[in-house]
Chains A and B, each alone.
Chain A
Amino acid sequence: MEKLKKAAQYMLDALQAAGADDAQVSCSEGKTEEFNVDAGEFSLIRSVFNSGAAIKVIKDHRKGTVVLNQLDKEAVDAAVNEVIAAADSGAPDEAFCIAAKEENLAFKEGSLVCDKAAFFDSVIKLTEDIARDYPQIMIEQLIATHSYGKRVLANTNGVLFTEEDGSYNVSVMYSAHDGEAATSFNYFDFDFLDPRTDILSLDGARTMLERAVAELETRPFTGKFVGTAVFSPACLGDLLGIVTGSFTGDLALIEGTSVWKDKLGQKVADERLTLSVIPRDPRIVCGERITADGYKAENFDIIKDGVLNSFCLSEYAARKTGNARSKSTSGSIAVKPGDKPFNELIADIEKGILVCRFSGGEPANNGDFSGVAKNSFLIENGKVTGPVSETMISGNMAEMLFHLRGISADVVCDGSSALPYAAFDGVTVSGAAEE
């Protein structure tokens, strides 16, 4: 860490000597160990050693940034010249800033040293468990990694954060096959700290594989109806990621295109919906500790009891739009669970669809969306019935949040989020051909 601190201080000194009014630097080093499975067979072991630095400079209210991955003097001196030239070429903007000094902190957490042998054993066990319990499942690609990193973030206001962490991740993309019958691919992804983790026992993994096997009976859906869409935890996370980006993110607020731009403190969803960013929640593995702007990261609510509580803004966008910067820039989100188990949530739905993956175009600025409901099942008379293919769903995300039918008590924690199932009414479901 001392080497990175010295590199950061050298950069800050050089930047100030070159005329920077304010500067922020982050320097990092790390190592990744990775196992790959392709088409069901182990294919590759990969080791990546890396270093990096990012420099932000403000000079005469103009900003420039540079990214490099060499920390030697020659590379750093060249980067200093480059970033000053970039700032000189920029446009003045009073909103450009660096973080104010609060409390300087040092963090160290997670599994810092990769237990390569134990982790390899766990990944082999995962492939063997899947082959034994779900013989129709083809692991299209499995990527298992241990990532270790250390990082320094410092600025000319005296901010100095250090962090060092390590964690394991397994990502599995799979499909089911039986003769010439094949399903759409789906995937699950888990972060964890124990290299001996029984990966298939993690939240929801077996359910997803069981659903894939059931999808071998998939039929194209015909017809069109407006009904209830129940989104799986993973799919709900993807949709809410789109919502937060389109309605609460930097660009949407700076451009003024967000439909929520004037809704702070107002109702934007059913009162049962609370959407939070939770990087410091104990369920999150090595979540964000330092924001990209250089502040200590904290949990916060985007929507609390249906009311818009905070945008997701960088400090620049906050100053530009007259709002507060968000307390975290992390994507680790949680939705407050409901009180019904998943089966009861389904039980009172007359006609709907269980959407386990959504493949759609970028939604319009106003939230209009349409796309393919992948890995999905019809819901009829309170029961999950046949799996469907070639089925599209459409609606408006801003309106949909008001049409919340229910949230499950079941929550899936994958190490980077904590999400339940959520059901929304008023979604259009259409098949390849109308009846």
Chain B
Amino acid sequence: MDDYIKKALAGVTDHAEARMQTARGRHVSVVGGNLVGNTSYVTHGVGARFYKDGVWGFASDSACTPESAAAVIAAAKENAALLHSRKPKNKPALANAQAARYTEARPFRDVDQKALTDYARALDGYIEKTYPDLASRSVVISANCIEKTMYTAEGAFAYQLFPRVYVIVILSAETADGATVELYDILGGGEGYFPDYYDDPAALHEAVDGLYRELMAKKEGVFPNAGERLCIIDSAIAGMVAHEAVGHTTEADLVLAGSVAATNLNKQVASPLISLTDFAHTAFGERAPLPVYVDDEGTECKDAVIIKDGILVGYMNNLESAAHFGMEPMGNARAYAYSDEPLIRMRNTALHPGTDKLADMIASVDDGYYLTRTQNGQADTTGEFMFGITMGYEIKNGKLGRALRDTTISGVAFNMLKTVDMLSDTVHWDSAGYCGKKQPMPVSMGGPAIRCRVNIGGR
């Protein structure tokens, strides 16, 4: 099929892409000792997209044969022609298209389902035996890998693998008033395969013990006093600030739709302490958590600098938006499934670290909160964001006080970032999540602990 696709694209004068993908995954979940989830999946397919004077046609098929590839390419061309005939944009060719090339050398590695079920049940057995007072417990293992082969009309080629694996533990306990409080944590894992991170379940016991101790503190927790407060947002949450609060508003498709970043380019949008980059494959001198080398338009992936010293200096682009804004495309056009067209997506988005020590930051707060865990977050094109907070503590006179029950923080990103006056010197990454746009997408996000003013919910 590769040869057919190469030939089909060889004579195309406008930009066009074709991708073959295989997605594989294994999932195990043990809930209260019951192995309720024990599943695997494998899907294949081919997709193609054609550009026609400013509009696009896309088609895909789960069948993976030269015939299906031919049908997909023909349908994609027809769709582009149909849209051009009814809603022409008459824009120029994508002269900024590149012919990047990358071939992943490491092969895909699978494991037996039994390796996952045995591991999950052993870890669950430890939790059951050690902490019989829990109201509930769950152990989840998720291992997946996206394998992409991509060709473009300009001659770009990429063969890339995106494997991830994580063990997640969720614990809950009953409070004195009969409610239950819950905490979860992602224990290890990252880019790669199950044996790369997980061998002996006992290696996770210490992390489980720590989670249990935090849960016991939360059990006695209080609700925060609602309103705008001085907070230390731990590095475990900073990635959410980078991704949700800022990142989305600087994706060029949302900028074109009128996001707050549209009118703030080259303006001071944050404290001069703040710099934010969407890293391609290397960050702060190390391999980024989820590296990407060539995007799904054939562009070589480079770091997209978004905020430098508090000034908004760039957006994340695809070929079209980069041409529109006169920016260099950095490889942010990514598609999730074979049946998806590339969209502007983040990769490894992080706030840069500062020079402060976390202990000094906490000690600097007379009356506020130290927020340490989040569960979800949402952003608005206005920059207004919301994060669910699942763990945190009061800070009174520079010392940690009582734990907090579940709450929510919110703010307007470019206002909140202007209040940042301390940043810790270490970066924490989180690579387990999916970003939701039109399609899901594995992304990583990171940053240091942040001292700022933010709106916190209460009761």
> Is there contact, CB below 8 Å, between B408 and A82?
no
> Is there contact, CB below 8 Å, between B60 and A184?
no
> Is there contact, CB below 8 Å, between A370 and B457?
yes
A182-195 vs B, Cβ < 8 Å mask (1 yes, 0 no): 11110000000000
Given A44-B341, A124-B86, A182-B381, A67 contacting B408 (CB threshold 8 A): no
> Is there contact, CB below 8 Å, between B381 and A45?
no
Bound CA span A389–B384, Å: 9
Interface-forming stretch among A9-17, A83-91, A346-354?
A83-91
A120 contact from B86, B172, B411, Cβ within 8 A: B86
Q: Kindly list chain B residues whose C-beta atoms are within 8 Å of the C-beta of A361.
A: 375-376, 386-390, 406-408
Query: Residue on B with the closest CB to A256?
Result: B136
B424-459 vs A, Cβ < 8 Å mask (1 yes, 0 no): 000000000000001000000000000000010111
> Is there contact, CB below 8 Å, between B83 and A141?
no
Q: Is A386 engaged at the interface, CB distance under 8 Å to the other chain?
A: no
Q: Kindly list chain A residues whose C-beta atoms are within 8 Å of the C-beta of B35.
A: 63, 90-91, 93
Q: Kindly list chain A residues whose C-beta atoms are within 8 Å of the C-beta of B181.
A: 364-365
B445 to chain A, nearest CB (A): 17
B350 to chain A, nearest CB (A): 23
Q: Kindly list chain B residues whose C-beta atoms are within 8 Å of the C-beta of A42.
A: 55, 83, 86-87
> Is there contact, CB below 8 Å, between B86 and A46?
no
A358 to chain B, nearest CB (A): 9
Task: Name the residue in A51, A91, A370 with the highest tally of chain B Cβ atoms < 10 Å from its Cβ.
Answer: A370
Interface-forming stretch among A157-165, A266-274, A426-434?
A426-434
Q: Kindly list chain B residues whose C-beta atoms are within 8 Å of the C-beta of A44.
A: 55-58, 79, 83, 341
Q: Kindly list chain B residues whose C-beta atoms are within 8 Å of the C-beta of A47.
A: 58-60, 75-76, 79
A288-307 vs B, Cβ < 8 Å mask (1 yes, 0 no): 00000000000000000000
Q: Is A104 engaged at the interface, CB distance under 8 Å to the other chain?
A: no
Q: Is B186 engaged at the interface, CB distance under 8 Å to the other chain?
A: no
A/B pair count, beta carbons within 8 Å: 275
> Is there contact, CB below 8 Å, between B384 and A371?
no
A355 to chain B, nearest CB (A): 13
Bound CA span A82–B341, Å: 30
Q: Kindly list chain B residues whose C-beta atoms are within 8 Å of the C-beta of A257.
A: 135-136, 172, 180, 182
Interface residues on chain A, number (Cβ under 8 Å): 83
A65 contact from B39, B55, B407, Cβ within 8 A: B39
Interface-forming stretch among A33-41, A275-283, A412-420?
A33-41
Bound CA span A367–B339, Å: 38
A50 contact from B62, B260, B263, Cβ within 8 A: B62
Q: Is B355 engaged at the interface, CB distance under 8 Å to the other chain?
A: no
Query: Residue on B with the closest CB to A37?
Result: B87
Q: Is A324 engaged at the interface, CB distance under 8 Å to the other chain?
A: no
Bound CA span A356–B415, Å: 24
A58 to chain B, nearest CB (A): 11
Q: Is B42 engaged at the interface, CB distance under 8 Å to the other chain?
A: yes
> Is there contact, CB below 8 Å, between A184 and B31?
no
Q: Report A164-199 residues with CB < 8 Å from chain B CB.
A: 175, 177, 180, 182-185
> Is there contact, CB below 8 Å, between A46 and B58?
yes
Bound CA span A368–B406, Å: 8
B8-46 vs A, Cβ < 8 Å mask (1 yes, 0 no): 000000000000000000000001101110111111110
> Is there contact, CB below 8 Å, between A38 and B378?
no
B112 contact from A43, A49, A85, A184, Cβ within 8 A: A85
B42 contact from A68, A91, A184, A360, Cβ within 8 A: A68
Given A45-B57, A320-B34, A361-B376, A175 contacting B257 (CB threshold 8 A): yes
Q: Kindly list chain A residues whose C-beta atoms are within 8 Å of the C-beta of B40.
A: 65-67, 82, 86
Bound CA span A89–B32, Å: 18
Bound CA span A251–B406, Å: 19
Q: Report B112-149 residues with CB < 8 Å from chain A CB.
A: 112-114, 116-118, 121, 135-136, 138
Given A85-B113, A428-B459, A175 contacting B258 (CB threshold 8 A): yes
Q: Kindly list chain B residues whose C-beta atoms are within 8 Å of the C-beta of A120.
A: 82, 86
> Is there contact, CB below 8 Å, between B257 and A39?
yes
Given A361-B387, A394-B458, A70 contacting B39 (CB threshold 8 A): no
A184 contact from B39, B80, B381, B405, Cβ within 8 A: B381
Q: Report A392-418 residues with CB < 8 Å from chain B CB.
A: 392, 394-396
> Is there contact, CB below 8 Å, between B257 and A89?
no
Q: Kindly list chain B residues whose C-beta atoms are within 8 Å of the C-beta of A7.
A: none
Q: Kindly list chain A residues whose C-beta atoms are within 8 Å of the C-beta of B135.
A: 255-257
B172 contact from A64, A182, A255, Cβ within 8 A: A255
A88 contact from B87, B114, B136, Cβ within 8 A: B114
Q: Is A77 engaged at the interface, CB distance under 8 Å to the other chain?
A: no
Bound CA span A185–B253, Å: 14
Bound CA span A431–B456, Å: 9
Bound CA span A10–B151, Å: 36
Query: Residue on B with the closest CB to A85?
Result: B113
Bound CA span A182–B382, Å: 7
> Is there contact, CB below 8 Å, between A433 and B382?
no
Q: Kindly list chain A residues whose C-beta atoms are within 8 Å of the C-beta of B217.
A: none
Query: Residue on B with the closest CB to A55?
Result: B39
Given A67-B39, A365-B172, A371-B457, A86 contacting B254 (CB threshold 8 A): no
Bound CA span A364–B68, Å: 48
> Is there contact, CB below 8 Å, between A69 and B44?
yes
Q: Kindly list chain A residues whose C-beta atoms are within 8 Å of the C-beta of B63.
A: 49, 51, 70
B44-73 vs A, Cβ < 8 Å mask (1 yes, 0 no): 110000000001111111111000100110
Bound CA span A395–B407, Å: 11
Q: Is A424 engaged at the interface, CB distance under 8 Å to the other chain?
A: no
Task: Name the residue in A38, A138, A183, A224 with the highest tally of chain B Cβ atoms < 10 Å from its Cβ.
Answer: A38
Q: Kindly list chain A residues whose C-beta atoms are within 8 Å of the C-beta of B57.
A: 44-46
Q: Kindly list chain A residues whose C-beta atoms are within 8 Å of the C-beta of B389.
A: 361
Task: Name the residue in B179, B386, B408 with the highest tally of chain A Cβ atoms < 10 Å from its Cβ.
Answer: B408
B318-351 vs A, Cβ < 8 Å mask (1 yes, 0 no): 0000000000000000000001010000000000
Q: Is A366 engaged at the interface, CB distance under 8 Å to the other chain?
A: yes
27 A-B pairs within 8 Å (CB atoms) are namely A35-B83, A44-B55, A44-B58, A44-B79, A44-B83, A46-B57, A51-B63, A52-B43, A79-B42, A89-B113, A91-B121, A124-B87, A175-B381, A255-B136, A256-B32, A361-B407, A366-B179, A368-B405, A371-B408, A371-B457, A372-B408, A396-B459, A428-B459, A430-B227, A430-B455, A430-B457, A433-B228
Besides A39-B258, A66-B40, A255-B138, 7 other A-B contacts (C-beta < 8 A): A48-B61, A65-B38, A361-B388, A364-B405, A366-B178, A428-B226, A433-B228
Residues of A whose CB lies within 8 Å of any CB of B are 35, 38-52, 63-70, 79, 82, 85-91, 93, 95, 120, 124, 138, 140-141, 143, 175, 177, 180, 182-185, 224, 250-251, 254-257, 259, 316, 320, 359-366, 368, 370-372, 374, 389-390, 392, 394-396, 428, 430-434
Name the 9 nearest CB pairs between A and B, nearest first. A361-B388, A370-B457, A366-B179, A89-B114, A255-B136, A45-B79, A67-B41, A140-B257, A39-B256
